[in-house]
Amino acid sequence: MPQNPLLGFFLALTAAISWGALPIALKKVATIVSVETIVFYRFLVAASVLLVVLGWKKKLPKLSQFNPQVITWFVLGVIGLAGNFFLYNSSLKYVEPLISQVFSPVSSFGMMLVGIFLFKEKLGIHQKIGLILLILGLGLFFNDRFALFLHLNIYSIGVLMSFGAAVIWVLYGLAQKILIRFFTTQQILLLMYVGCVGVFMPMSVPQQVAELTPFAWGCFIFCCLNTPIAYGAYAEALNQWEVSKVSVVVTVGPLFTLLFSHVIYWIDPIDFAHPEFNTLSYIGAFVSVFGAMLAAIGHKLFRKSA
């Protein structure tokens, strides 16, 4: 299929913007509705949208495609994705949106390590430098908060949840890498969404949604639509543009969170808190993102200079 780089760029940018704005809206909803209920509805909406799309295209997964290996990886993928959503959403009860987002590059590096140990892939010099920059960036980001990690408190719990969300996502990423041999990307997403709906349905409390204020309702609707829009845009971007370039654009998600946090506070200081970070923290966020970018596209830069 011929690619359209311009369309691919805008689709990747849509995914980055959607993921960047997500934690800001989620934090408002999480104060009223339980995490399990939020995640249940997010997966339910995403599964419903994808079910309609694949049904219309007549590309729904077939039972004949399932075997013991597929079922095993499907279960592991659901555990990874459900765990990621639960921990990520839960962390927003304790920390600022930017903190939950700044750990997102950890997932990419986790997948690189999995590739090394399980698939015998080699770690390039650009990836090693990128990893060092990520660690350095996170150190700068938390420069004035190290004392908070000395004791188990609400803040440290939130940070650990954010980190855990990024780490457990690797299990989903690995499952997707295996399942792509049997299904298309959209089919895998549908299966994962449906599986996660089953996980969170028994724990959800739909009555809580009725307690949302009109403003919180808007945030809740945005959160539910965010999943199919962001993942859909990302999946289609990969079809229209090079994977490395899409990865670079999507990596800037934390910077959009940083930007939106300031803009939304300027627009509505009553409903949104002012981001409390010093200059080194902002530099650290940029360094972390740059490290992830280098890991994604650095092989081309080093090849040219070689």
Q: Render pLDDT for 191-221 as a digit per residue (tens, 0 to 9).
A: 999 999 999 999 999 999 988 989 899 999 9
pLDDT of residue 244: 66
- Model confidence band, residue 231 (pLDDT cutoffs 50, 70, 90): confident
pLDDT of residue 121: 66
- Model confidence band, residue 232 (pLDDT cutoffs 50, 70, 90): confident
Q: What is the pLDDT of residues 129-150, one digit of tens each?
A: 888 888 898 888 888 777 776 7
Name every residue whose Cβ is closer than 8 Å to that of residue 62 and which is 6 or more positions away in sequence: none
> Each residue of 113-152: b (16+ CB within 10 Å) or e?
ebbeeeeeeeeeebbeebbebbeebbebbbeebeeeeeee
Q: What is the pLDDT of residues 161-170, one digit of tens each?
A: 999 999 999 8
pLDDT of residue 252: 85
Share of the chain above pLDDT 90, in %: 36
pLDDT of residue 305: 44
pLDDT of residue 196: 96
Residue 234 has pLDDT above 70, yes or no: yes
> Can you give the residue ranges of every domain in the chain?
5-305
Residue 77 has pLDDT above 90, yes or no: yes
Name every residue whose Cβ is closer than 8 Å to that of residue 276 and which is 6 or more positions away in sequence: 96
